[in-house]
Chains A and B, each alone.
Chain A
Amino acid sequence: MQRMKLLAVNAAWLIVPFLVVGTIWEIVARAGIFQPKLFPSLVTIFDAFVRLSVSGVLWAHTEGTLVRLALGFLLAAVVGVLLGIAMGRYRFAEDVFLPLVSIGYPIPGLAYAPLFVLWFGLGDLPTILLVGVASSFAVIINTWKGVRAVKQVWIRAAEVMGATDRQLFRKVILPGALPYILTGMRLGLAQAWRILVAVEMLTAVPKGLGWMIFGAQEFLNTDVMLAGVAAIGVIGLLLEKQVFERVERYTVVRWGMLTA
């Protein structure tokens, strides 16, 4: 009984902020201070969301965005982990690549977008490449740090127990660096996600949430745009909660290398 009550109170607390903001939004929308076309009521937005979902338009755009995100991130993860490990393990690779990575890192990937369009044309290819390049830096740097942070005493212990170079790498360095690698991937995915939507607006991909929002601007379809933003918010939240927190829970949190 007591628990039910507590649950109800917590749920109420979760709803209240949205209720308040929603009410304010609704009052402003209906007061007619702004054109209804530019500041639609929540009913209209919800309507658009449902309409787009039922007709499958929203799904098609979401699918396009997710596929691009997956491919771009995959590119970044593979290249980033390999390069990061090489830099962590071999001083030569570190000396050669670190300056390049340090110079490339602070340039927002989005700034390359027009250049990539010039080189690779419009559409999927420049989008995926750009997202991949932009998000690889976080993966590279964190993987490199992770390999460097592997404790000397683990390496010594493994060596004294007869580990060969390959065993040392697979059974000690890789798991030892995993907390950092996962952090890098998490940051990389977040970065990929942040720029993907904007890149879609610039590369005129056939289907994608960014493009949907951008296209709707032409026709002042604010309701469609806000429905798109809502979809983007839901995906972002799911990526964070469902994908990464799960992976971490089963690995580094369980090993006590990171507190949840």
Chain B
Amino acid sequence: MDQTIQVRSITFEYESDKGRVLAVENVSFDVADGEFLCILGPSGCGKTTILNMLAGFLTPTRGEILIGGRPVAGRGQDRGVVFQDFAQLFPWRTARRNVEFGLEMRGVADAERRETALKFLRLVKLEKFAESYPHELSGGMQQRVAIARALAYNPAVLLMDEPFAALDAMTRDEMQKQLTEIWQATKKTVVYITHNVAEAVYLADQILVLAAHPGTVKARLRFDLQRPRDPLSAEFVAAQRELLGHLQH
């Protein structure tokens, strides 16, 4: 399966009370098969708009997005999305039945669905909670179920919109570690939105720094740090400093 993403000079404008607003202007980037891309920027820089265009919730005013070499038209099972909101899980379904949802839509048989769902719950270390309802799980656990749910129907790429932003710092560190492991195990292409510099350095192969009003690409960086990355190492701190420099002007 071709898991590349190509974004060709996309622009997004919308109508508001004060006339047309340019939210994203002329953004281009490529993500290679199995690569982890972080889009980093201040709030209001249009990073969520970019993700929504990748997911197919919004259509670019100009420009083109290719996933697996095919132009994106609307929503599709070639993409998995993880939102920031814990409420994204369906409260009336257990963790396992949440993870099964995408397969159910595709008409996969019961037994196979169950087996696949359990496999992905094991991947996010939640097989013991398969039959729990979302409200019985902590925020971190809910987000892990959401990741399992987005992976279970085997999309080409995984899109994540600040999935850990609402977690406490310690849980977030643990989640980043686990996400790296999951990513290495599944070899998915990931686009990850964040406004946290350390998170971007910890997770990404490639980092896209955005400027706000309108959202444009300010810098594109790569840090070849050894994984698992050590946030206290000199290289890590240096990388953070470099990124901050790009963000601040």
Q: Do chains A and B touch in the complex (CB under 8 A)?
A: yes
Tell me which residues across on chain B come within 8 A of A255, comparing CB atoms.
Answer: 91-92, 133, 135
**C-beta contact mask, A223-260 vs B, less than 8 Å → 1, else 0?**
00000000000000000000000000001101111000
Q: Does A6 contact B (CB under 8 A)?
A: no
Of A162, A164, A256, which one neighbours B133 at CB under 8 angstroms?
A: A256
How long is the Cα–Cα vector from A171 to B136 in the complex, in angstroms? 21
How long is the Cα–Cα vector from A121 to B158 in the complex, in angstroms? 66
How long is the Cα–Cα vector from A157 to B104 in the complex, in angstroms? 14
Of A151, A161, A252, A257, which one neighbours B101 at CB under 8 angstroms?
A: A161
Are B87 and A151 closer than 8 Å at their CB atoms? Answer: yes
Interface centre among B80, B90, B91, B133 (most CB of A within 10 A): B91
A133-173 at interface with B (beta carbon < 8 Å)? 151, 153-154, 156-164, 167, 171-172
Q: Does B223 contact A (CB under 8 A)?
A: no
How long is the Cα–Cα vector from A159 to B77 in the complex, in angstroms? 9
Tell me which residues across on chain B come within 8 A of A175, comparing CB atoms.
Answer: 90, 92
Q: Does B75 contact A (CB under 8 A)?
A: yes
Are A164 and B105 closer than 8 Å at their CB atoms? Answer: yes
Are B57 and A156 closer than 8 Å at their CB atoms? Answer: yes
How long is the Cα–Cα vector from A255 to B134 in the complex, in angstroms? 8
What class of interface size applies to chain B in its complex with A? 20 to 34
**C-beta contact mask, A22-40 vs B, less than 8 Å → 1, else 0?**
0000000000000000000
Q: Does A178 contact B (CB under 8 A)?
A: yes
A154-213 at interface with B (beta carbon < 8 Å)? 154, 156-164, 167, 171-172, 175-176, 178
Are B87 and A153 closer than 8 Å at their CB atoms? Answer: yes
Tell me which residues across on chain B come within 8 A of A252, comparing CB atoms.
Answer: 92
Are A172 and B91 closer than 8 Å at their CB atoms? Answer: no
Of A154, A162, A251, A257, which one neighbours B75 at CB under 8 angstroms?
A: A162
How long is the Cα–Cα vector from A254 to B132 in the complex, in angstroms? 10
Q: Which residue on B lies nearest to A178, using beta carbons? A: B92
How long is the Cα–Cα vector from A219 to B44 in the complex, in angstroms? 78
Q: Does B83 contact A (CB under 8 A)?
A: yes
How long is the Cα–Cα vector from A251 to B92 in the complex, in angstroms? 8
How long is the Cα–Cα vector from A171 to B85 in the complex, in angstroms? 20
Are A160 and B55 closer than 8 Å at their CB atoms? Answer: yes
How long is the Cα–Cα vector from A161 to B133 in the complex, in angstroms? 20
How long is the Cα–Cα vector from A176 to B134 in the complex, in angstroms? 14
Of B55, B88, B91, B101, which one neighbours A256 at CB under 8 angstroms?
A: B91
**C-beta contact mask, B160-173 vs A, less than 8 Å → 1, else 0?**
00000000000000
B40-88 at interface with A (beta carbon < 8 Å)? 55-57, 75-77, 79-81, 83, 85, 87-88
Q: Does B215 contact A (CB under 8 A)?
A: no
Tell me which residues across on chain A come within 8 A of B85, comparing CB atoms.
Answer: 151, 153
Of B80, B90, B135, B136, which one neighbours A160 at CB under 8 angstroms?
A: B80
Of A157, A161, A257, which one neighbours B92 at CB under 8 angstroms?
A: A257
Are A160 and B56 closer than 8 Å at their CB atoms? Answer: yes
How near does chain B come to A181, taking the closest CB pair, in angstroms?
12
Tell me which residues across on chain A come within 8 A of B87, comparing CB atoms.
Answer: 151, 153-154
Tell me which residues across on chain B come within 8 A of A161, comparing CB atoms.
Answer: 77, 80, 101-102, 105, 149, 153
Of B55, B77, B88, B135, which one neighbours A162 at CB under 8 angstroms?
A: B77
Q: Which residue on A lies nearest to B134, using beta carbons? A: A256
How near does chain A come to B38, taking the closest CB pair, in angstroms?
20
Are B88 and A154 closer than 8 Å at their CB atoms? Answer: yes
**C-beta contact mask, B111-151 vs A, less than 8 Å → 1, else 0?**
00000000000000000000001111000000000000100
How near does chain B come to A105, taking the closest CB pair, in angstroms?
29
How long is the Cα–Cα vector from A164 to B76 in the complex, in angstroms? 11
How near does chain B come to A179, taking the closest CB pair, in angstroms?
9
How long is the Cα–Cα vector from A11 to B104 in the complex, in angstroms? 51
Q: Does B106 contact A (CB under 8 A)?
A: yes
Tell me which residues across on chain A come within 8 A of B90, comparing CB atoms.
Answer: 154, 157, 172, 175-176
Tell me which residues across on chain B come within 8 A of A171, comparing CB atoms.
Answer: 101, 104
How long is the Cα–Cα vector from A129 to B20 in the complex, in angstroms? 54
A48-102 at interface with B (beta carbon < 8 Å)? none
Tell me which residues across on chain A come within 8 A of B106, comparing CB atoms.
Answer: 162
Tell me which residues across on chain A come within 8 A of B92, comparing CB atoms.
Answer: 175-176, 178, 251-252, 255, 257
- Measuring CB to CB, which residues of chain A are less than 8 angstroms from any residue of chain B? 151, 153-154, 156-164, 167, 171-172, 175-176, 178, 251-252, 254-257
Q: Given A154-B88, A156-B81, A162-B153, list of 7 further CB < 8 A pairs?
A: A151-B85, A157-B90, A157-B101, A161-B102, A161-B153, A162-B77, A162-B102
6 contacts between A and B (CB under 8 A): A157-B101, A162-B77, A171-B101, A171-B104, A254-B133, A257-B91
- What 9 A-B pairs are tightest by C-beta distance, nearest first? A256-B135, A161-B102, A175-B92, A162-B77, A162-B105, A255-B91, A255-B92, A153-B88, A160-B81
